[in-house]
Structure 1
């Protein structure tokens, strides 16, 4: 039978570790005893916390009162801002409603004015040119040019032919220059 090799150093290491630990425990125990012996004896009177300085207590009280007042003022300002925001929102909604109503009214008025102009233009177009020419002769050139520009070219030419030369020239200039300022591609 083969014998395994034995590790002789293992037992020696464990023994040394135990001796070192025992030595440390003894030294620690001796040091604690001396520390306890040197400690001052406890008095039998109860320990009392010293009173805080009066000036410090008053300063802290004043500061606390100031902070509370500032917090109350901030809360009041916050409430006032909330009310102001609500009022602004209500006014903005009312203004938006009024703007929508005004836009509808303007659109209706523009539509009515356009319908009136279309109807009047149709009336002038159905008139005979020799009957309509005196009416256009009495009109301002800008006004007459507006109606003639809306009419069919043949009808407008008949009415323009019945006007005086000066009036026909003024109306022709206005008709020709109506779109002069429009951008050209």
Structure 2
């Protein structure tokens, strides 16, 4: 009893669904035709197909990067010839000044040495002068003593008789005899020489003349 009721309902539902689908299909066909027609009327030329995207390159096949450019050297300005010449001149002047200072120091040191040498020489001269004065004093003293001794002998022989004095003079050495007769007065010496032996008198007279000539030449 249930099946006769459900069958008509199912058939009716299927019929209605078919009608709906048919209307939808007709509407779609009408709308597509309207849209396609104007598109065809003003259809632009087909756009070029896009180029295929490049395939990703693996790290192993990646092209080597170009080497980094070497840093460019900063240009250095050429030295100024005038500045170089001035520097060379300054160096020469500095060297010359150093040389002059060294020479001045050497001259100063040499002057110090010379002054010390002069002082030593002056002291030495003073010492030698004092020594010479002492020697001269001693020589004068010796001469005076000798002269005093000769004068004493002369007075002794002058006080003797000429014959006695002549006997002694005949035996004296010539240098001593000359010194005694040279200091005797002529009036005292003449009688003594006259009483001497003739040969001794002749020799003593010759030596006495030579002695007085040498003394005169020395003075």
Q: TM-score, normalised by structure 2?
A: 0.50
Name the counterpart of 1:164: 197
Distance in 2, Cα, partners of 1:69 & 1:125: 81
CA shift, 1:147, in A, is 1.9
Name the counterpart of 1:85: 118
Q: Any conservation in 2 of the 1:130–1:162 contact (CA below 8 Å)?
A: yes
**Which structure has the bigger radius of gyration?**
2
Distance in 2, Cα, partners of 1:96 & 1:80: 24
Distance in 2, Cα, partners of 1:111 & 1:137: 27
Q: TM-score, normalised by structure 1?
A: 0.58
**1:62 maps to 2:95:** yes
**Structure with more relative contact order (C-alpha pairs < 8 Å, separation 6 or more):** 1
Gaps of 5+ in 2: 1-79
How many residue pairs match? The answer is 134
Name the counterpart of 1:123: 156
Distance in 2, Cα, partners of 1:172 & 1:61: 87
Can you list the C-alpha shifts for 1:42-101, whole angstroms capped at 9, x where unaligned?
xxxxxxxx9953434433332232222122112112212221221222122112212221
The Cα RMSD (Å) is: 3.0
Distance in 2, Cα, partners of 1:163 & 1:133: 5
**1:137 maps to 2:170:** yes
Distance in 1, Cα, partners of 2:117 & 2:185: 60
CA shift, 1:172, in A, is 3.6
1:138 aligns to what SS in structure 2?
coil
Q: 1:95 to 1:175 in 2, by over 3 A?
A: closer
Q: Any conservation in 2 of the 1:134–1:163 contact (CA below 8 Å)?
A: yes
Moved more, 58-67 or 90-99: 58-67
Can you list the C-alpha shifts for 1:102-127, whole angstroms capped at 9, x where unaligned?
22112111111111110011111222
